[in-house]
Amino acid sequence: MEILSLLGQGFVVAATPLNIGLLLMGCFIGTLLGALPGLGPVNGVAVLIPLTFAFGFDPTSSMILLCAVYFGCMYGGRISSILLNIPGDEPAIMTTLDGYPMAVQGQAANALAISGVASFVGATIAVLGLSLFAPVLARAAIHFGPADYFALYILAFATIGGIAGVDPRKTLLSALIGLLLATVGLDPISGVPRYTFDSFHLYDGIEPIVALVGLFAISEILMLLEMHLKDRPKAIPVGSWLPQWGAIWKTRAAMLRGSGVGFVAGVLPGAGASLGSFMAYVAEKQWSNKKGTFGKGDPRGVAAPEAGNNAASGGALIPMLSLGVPGSGTTAVLLAMLISLNVQPGPLLFERQPDLVWGLVASLYMANIALLILNLPMIGIFTRLMMTPTWALMPVVAAVTFVGVYGISNSVFDLEMMVAFGVIGYVLRKMDVSLVPLVLGLLLGGDMERNLRRAMSISDGDWSILIASPISIGLYILTAGFLVLSVWLAVRDHRQTQAERLTEG
Amino acid sequence: MIFRSLTSVKLGAALAATMTLTALPASATECIAPSNPGGGWDFTCRTIGRILSELELVDGNVQVTNMPGGVGAVTFAMVAAERADDADLIVATSTVGITQIAQGRYPAPLETMRYLAMLGADVGVIAVDNDSPIQTLAQLNEAMAADPTSLVTAGSSGAGGWDHIRLLMVAQEAGVEDLGAIRWVQFDGGTDAVTQMMGGQIDVVSTDLGEIAGFVESGDIRILAALSDEPIPAFPDVPTAVSQGVDVIGYNWRGLYTGGQVTDEQYAEWVSKLETLYNSPEWQEAATASGLVPIWRGGDTFEAFVREQAQVMEQISRDIGVIE
């Protein structure tokens, strides 16, 4: 009951006209930035930080605005994943796997509606978790040590073969290229430059968003150019502009499962939204891919990762607020913002500044509802985008990606790198190599390595530390179970098809 | 960068309305933060830029540009090559940048630039978990001297970074000979290290106080020593290392440099402007609010301070084998 009264207090703080105005503006800007490939939460926050200082908003209003942008981006990222096969931001890569096939089959409206509702469900569950259990969860998360994080990443990489497996060897190759690229830059442990070829631009490693935009957006443009030279692309049939509610209802279980998985990943400060959406997709595929429809436009393959990514983003606010540990790049910026507003995140924040914390939580509930209302009517507009001829659409996509990537760091080098990744992406796609594992390798590889190295530093090189805690042992058992199950299922399917062939023959 | 990227993000038409409000008139003075928005260097440029124009020490506004890359190396190289004599340019730096230079990770040596002043500092602290058997700095030093491998230490920098070096400076004073034997774990920030210490993964944390102050107030961790000249205003009961007979000062200072070919008069003018800024109530308030202790070292004194600090860092980095 105490929480309810605190939350009520929060709604009183959040529901001022100024805060509601900022909330709506933040949601709108966030959705837009999320939807445009290359532009994302980093750009949004970069644009808005000077604005909040210029207007001298109090910490609560500033945080409401920035969190609305952050949540808005998570909603928006899915739009270009579904319509263009180009993820709007990092956590939206999993949505391309089933979202784009759905759009190609004329199901764009359904895919957008399912992902919108899934985003709402995921984010709402995360905010509920935040308001009910934040301090408890934060205290539990500190028991996750470097060896346990490493075990978690092992689980993630063991399941990577299951995401886009036409040919598991190609998936593995793609993931390994990603891992390789993740080692570029200053070694975080010893500070030694690796694979930088004496270029200072490579000291900070490869910025995942630059690689992502290059691999997906630039290569998509190259593919289209080639298709136009050969033959005109088939027009995508635009089905209904209105989503079917029954289709959304059918994915409810997938949404809930995805939210659960994503939320856990979000609460762990070493994991984050990308891992959340990835694990949610893999878990869902393992759970319900009985007919082999995943990867070919299964609505559950859209619902699970979207719920997972939004639940993880909300969950990441828990370690940020109650421990002061950012779980992602954007929460790191939010944290810096809090500190410069003279708010000290950490164990005492909930006691000392209940107005700020509960005002923020209340505004997140409001932002979720605002985003759902904002997003559903826009489905009609977005689906019409599918009818835009590619000769008109792609130049805009190209312009936006160049502007977005340049806007992050003011660096021409990043643009060159983006184009290089575009060419790599094009070549890999011609060889039927899925790009998703590559990006996952790049995104997760660095953290996986750092945690392994930290564990090794703690134990002074003794490998037994990796299996010294019950958490890591549990995760390894889960990994082994997953692998055994995958192999068993593959063998069973193989026998079935063989048996069918025999009976047919 | 913010303002420049603002104009470039113009495509997002909805932003246009908010942008015009922040598109300030161009001005001559520019402060480069060699990092992304939100970090310490960004804070230095934004706060100092704002107060410089509020006090009318410069004409108009100070434009803040973010130029991340190579922990400041990209900016350093650009200034050396293109704007060495540009007296309207100031660049944010800190102990982190000097560590990189001392370890030869910038394209040119320290003397390439002229160091103007430091205006404030985050104070380094040595902390243990509240349940730790170690109660004082003397006990920690005893334990490290008896067996350097007995404790796992951690902080927000990699091996050879400033958090690590400050701890080794303490250990060296305590008579530990084999500095390389002390186990060091890198985390992405001071709070990450502290929460891992609360989770029982590590024993000792060496990092800046600002970020982890909340855990001291909540009683989750205990500070053994503050590496400052004077006790920290926010925690007057915490003893300094110096008061415990360990002569180590470990500030993570925030300051500015300018190009190496700026004339002596222009250099002196900047130093005097910054001193005025330092003495203003605006700066004292802004610095304290963000967890910094206002400390002034300017002009030649600061140049000498920076060089000495770089030498100490280089020596310790050599001793522990981070550089050859």
State pLDDT tens for residues A133-188.
887 887 788 888 999 999 988 988 887 766 655 677 888 889 899 999 999 988 87
pLDDT in tens, A126-148: 999 988 888 788 778 888 899 99
Gap between the Cα atoms of A205 and A451, Å rounded: 17
Residue type, A485: L
Q: Is residue B16 over pLDDT 50?
A: no
Is B235 touching A (CB cutoff 8 A)? no
Would you give the DSSP letter of residue B184?
E
SS3 state at B31 = strand
Q: What is the CATH number of the domain that holds B94?
A: 3.40.190.150
The 10 Å Cβ neighbour count of residue A189 is 19
A285 contacts A298 by C-beta, under 8 angstroms: no
Identity of the residue in B2, B105, B158 whose CB atom sits nearest the CB atom of A188: B158
Residue type, A416: E
Give yes or no: residues B118 and B266 share one domain: yes
Instruction: Report chain A residues whose CB lies below 8 A from the CB of B69.
Output: 200-201, 203-204, 409, 411
Is B17 touching A (CB cutoff 8 A)? no
pLDDT in tens, A86-127: 887 788 888 999 999 998 888 888 899 999 999 999 999 999
Residue type, A116: G
Give yes or no: residues B237 and B307 share one domain: no
Give yes or no: residues B100 and B173 share one domain: no
- As a whole number, the mean pLDDT across chain A is 84
Instruction: Report chain B residues whose CB lies below 8 A from the CB of A472.
Output: none
* CB-CB under 8 Å, A50 with B3: yes
* CB-CB under 8 Å, A409 with B36: yes
C-beta contacts of A101-104 below 8 A and 24+ residues apart: A101/A295, A101/A296, A101/A297, A102/A297, A102/A299, A102/A302, A103/A236, A103/A386, A104/A236, A104/A297
Q: Which of residues 67-126 of B touch A (CB under 8 A)?
A: 67-71, 73-74, 77, 103, 105, 107
- Domain contains B272: yes
User: Does ipTM surpass 0.85 in this model?
Assistant: no
Gap between the Cα atoms of A315 and A337, Å rounded: 19
**B152-155 and B204-208 beta bridge pairing:** parallel
- Domain contains B314: yes
Identity of the residue in B8, B77, B159 whose CB atom sits nearest the CB atom of A190: B159
Gap between the Cα atoms of A500 and B17, Å rounded: 64
Query: Measured at the alpha carbon of residue A190, what is the angle toward residues A187 and A192, in degrees to the nearest 5?
Result: 55
Last residue of a domain, one of B203, B225, B244: B244
Instruction: Report chain A residues whose CB lies below 8 A from the CB of B73.
Output: 200, 203
Number of domains observed in the structure of chain B: 2
Find, in chain A, the residue whose alpha carbon is nearest to that of B189: A325
Give yes or no: residues B178 and B236 share one domain: yes
Last residue of a domain, one of B186, B215, B244: B244
* CB-CB under 8 Å, A333 with B36: yes
Per the DSSP assignment, residues forming a β-bridge with B251 are B123
Give yes or no: residues B132 and B240 share one domain: yes
- Domain contains B268: yes
Is B321 touching A (CB cutoff 8 A)? no
Q: Is residue B225 over pLDDT 70?
A: yes
Question: What integer pLDDT is reported at residue A466 of this predicted model?
Answer: 93
pLDDT-derived band at B8 (thresholds 50, 70, 90) equals: very low
CA A444 to chain centre: 12
Would you give the DSSP letter of residue A216?
I
Last residue of a domain, one of B244, B264, B293: B244
Instruction: Report chain A residues whose CB lies below 8 A from the CB of B3.
Output: 50
Instruction: Report chain B residues whose CB lies below 8 A from the CB of A449.
Output: none
Gap between the Cα atoms of A280 and A267, Å rounded: 14
Render the burial of A309-346: b for 16+ CB within 10 Å, e for the rest: bbbbbbbbbbbbbbbbbbbbbbbbbbbbbbbbbebbbb
Distance from CA of A86 to the nearest CA of B (A): 18
Instruction: Report chain B residues whose CB lies below 8 A from the CB of A53.
Output: 46, 50
DSSP result, B191-228: HHHHHHHHTTS-SEEEEEHHHHHHHHHTTSEEEEEE-S
Token digits for B173? 């004073």
* CB-CB under 8 Å, A342 with B12: no
- Domain contains B196: yes
Give yes or no: residues B215 and B311 share one domain: no
Give yes or no: residues B128 and B182 share one domain: yes
- Structural domain including B171 reads 123-244
Select the highest-mean-pLDDT range: A200-214, B2-16, B274-288.
B274-288
Gap between the Cα atoms of A253 and B315, Å rounded: 61
Question: What integer pLDDT is reported at residue A48 of this predicted model?
Answer: 75
Find, in chain A, the residue whose alpha carbon is nearest to that of B63: A50
Give yes or no: residues B56 and B127 share one domain: no
Find, in chain B, the residue whose alpha carbon is nearest to that of A399: B11
User: Closest Cα to residue A251, out of A479, A433, A99?
Assistant: A99
